[in-house]
Amino acid sequence: MSWKEAAEPVLTRMPTVTRPEGHVPFKRKLAWTAGILVMYFFLTNVTLFGLQTQTASGDFYGQFRSILAGQSGSIMQLGIGPIVTASIVLQLLGGADLLGLDTDDPRDQVLYQGLQKLLVVVMICLTGLPMVFAGEFLPADPAIAQSLFGSAEATTGVKTLIFAQMFVGGILILFMDEVISKWGVGSGIGLFIIASVSQQLVAGLFATEAIGNITGFFPAWIGIVTGSVQLEGSLVQALLFEPGNLLALFTTVLIFAIVVYAESVRVEIPLSHARVKGARGRFPVKLIYASVLPMILIRALQANVQFLGQILNSQLASMPAWLGQYADGQVVGGVFYYLAPIQTRQDWMWFIYAPAATPSEIALRVLVDLFVTVVGSAIFAIFWVETTGMGPEATAQQIQNSGMQIPGFRRNPQVIEKVMERYIPQVTVIGGALVGLLAVLANMLGTLGGVSGTGLLLTVSITYKLYEEIAEEQLMEMHPMMRQMFGSD
C-alpha cells in the first residue's frame, strides 16, 4: 500500500472552502477581499487572554514580523509563518520528487491540498508550543492563574489557553487565505503582507511619540524645522540617520522604483492563433518571473533557524559558545550570529554605531547573508516555477491547449518547450538572485517605519501584481468572451 492510499481517508476529509460553481463577479470578489482584510485587522488587535504583557519579552521574530504578517501578543501571533513553513517542506519534497503527486490529476490535487493543510496544523503546533511552554517568550499572568485555577503557580493551565488561542488564529488565517484564493482577488498571504507592511510604513511617515511610541518622518522634520528637536552629533549624520531619516526615505523610494521597473522588464514571445487569422498575442517572460514570493520562503526559513537558536538558549543551561552567544535576548556570536540576516544599519555600520562585533566578524556575517539570500532566492525561484506550473514544459502545454502557437515554429508542445527553455530557466535564476540582492541592500540601508527590506520588496511587488490582476478582472468583466478564451470560468 502506497502512502497516498494510506493517507487518502485523512487528507480527503480535511476541511476546505468550497470553490465557486461559476464565475464570481468582480464586485463580489472585491467584497470578499475587503471583508477578509477587515477581519485580519480585527484579529491582529485581539490580544491573547492570559498573557502577562507587562513583563513579556520583545517580539522574538523582530524584523521578520513584517513578512510573517502577524502581530506580537495577539491571536495572530504566528501570522502566516506555519503556512510558509509548510510550503517550504512541500517545495523540498516536491522538488526531490518524493511525493509522487501529479498536480494535473484531480485526485492528487485533493491529496496535495489536504497534505498542505495537515502540515500547516503540524507547523502551528511545532511553532506555537515552544513559544508558550519553553522559556519566557509568552509568560502567563499569575493573576489570571489565581482567578481561574485558585493558584498563582498554576501557569500551565493559562499557557494551555494561550496556545489554544494561537492555534485558532493559525487555523483562521489558513482559511482566510483560502477564501481569498477562491472567492477574492489575489492571494491571501500577499494581502496580509501588504496590510502588515503598510501599517509600518504609515507609522514611519506620520506617527508621533503619543501614537505608536515612535516619531515618523514628517513629525520629525517638523520638529527639526521648528527647532523643537535637538540634533545631536554631526549635521550630516543627524539628517541622514536619526532623526532626519533621509537615507531611509531614499532607500524606500529607490526600492519602489527598482521593483516597478523590474516588473516591467520582460521578454515577449509572439503568439498567433492556429485557427483564427489575425488573432495574435504575446507571452511575457518577466525579469522577476517567479515573483518575489520565494523570498518569503527564504526569510521564513531564517526566522525558524533564529527561533530554534532562542529556544536552545532558553533551554540549555550552557549553550556552546561556538553555537550561539546571546545578550539581552539578542544573538551576538556563534553560528546563529552568522546565520542571522542583517536587519538594520546598526548591525553593520561599526564606524557609526560601534557594535560589539569586530569589523571582520561583521564583514563575514554580511557575506554569509548575501550568499544565503541571493543563492537561496535563486534556488527557491526554480522550485517555485517548477511546482506551480510555470516551467517550460507546463507553459508549453498551456499555450498548446489555448490554441496558440509561436509563428515560424511547428504547433507541437515539444517545439514550444524548447523555445521556452531559452528564456524561462535563465530569467528565473537572474530574477531570483536580483530579488535577494535588493532585499539585503534594503535591510542594510534601512527603510521608513523600520520595515525590513524584504517586507518592502514583497509589498511593492505583490501590490503591482495585485494591480495587474484587478485590471485583468475588469477587462474580463467588460468582455466575457475573453474570460471563456482564457478559461477563467
Domain 26-185 maps to which CATH number in 3.10.20.30, 3.40.190.10, 1.10.1280.10, 1.10.3370.10?
A: 1.10.3370.10
Q: In the CATH hierarchy, which top-level class contains the domain 252-489?
A: mainly alpha
Query: Residue 390 is inside which H or E element, if any?
Result: none
User: pLDDT tens for residues 265-293?
Assistant: 888 888 887 666 666 778 888 888 877 77
pLDDT tens digits, 386-430 = 877 788 888 888 888 877 788 877 778 888 888 888 889 999 999
Query: Per-residue confidence at 54, pLDDT binned at 50, 70, 90?
Result: low
pLDDT in tens, 129-188: 988 887 667 888 888 888 888 887 788 889 999 999 999 999 999 999 999 999 998 888
Separation of alpha carbons 159 and 140, rounded Å? 6
As a dihedral over the C-alpha atoms of residue 116, residue 117, residue 118, residue 121, rounded to 10 degrees, the angle is 120
The proportion of the chain whose per-residue pLDDT surpasses 90, expressed as a percent, equals 15
| Other beta carbons less than 10 A from residue 112's beta carbon | 19
Q: Which three cell numbers stand for residue 265?
A: 522588464
- For residues 436 and 373, the answer to whether their CB atoms sit within 8 Å is yes
Identical fold at 26-185 and 252-489?
A: yes
Residue type for position 121: V
Q: Where are the domains of the chain?
A: 26-185, 252-489
Compute the distance between CA of residue 363 and CA of residue 351 in angstroms, rounded to an integer: 13
Q: Are 241 and 247 in contact (CB under 8 A)?
A: yes
Q: How confident is the model at residue 122 (pLDDT cuts 50, 70, 90)?
A: very high
Of all helices (H) and strands (E), which one includes residue 146?
helix 142-149
Interacting residues of 132 by C-beta distance below 8 A, sequence separation 6+: 138, 159, 162, 163, 166
424-464 pLDDT, tens digit each: 999 999 988 988 898 888 888 888 887 877 788 888 888 88
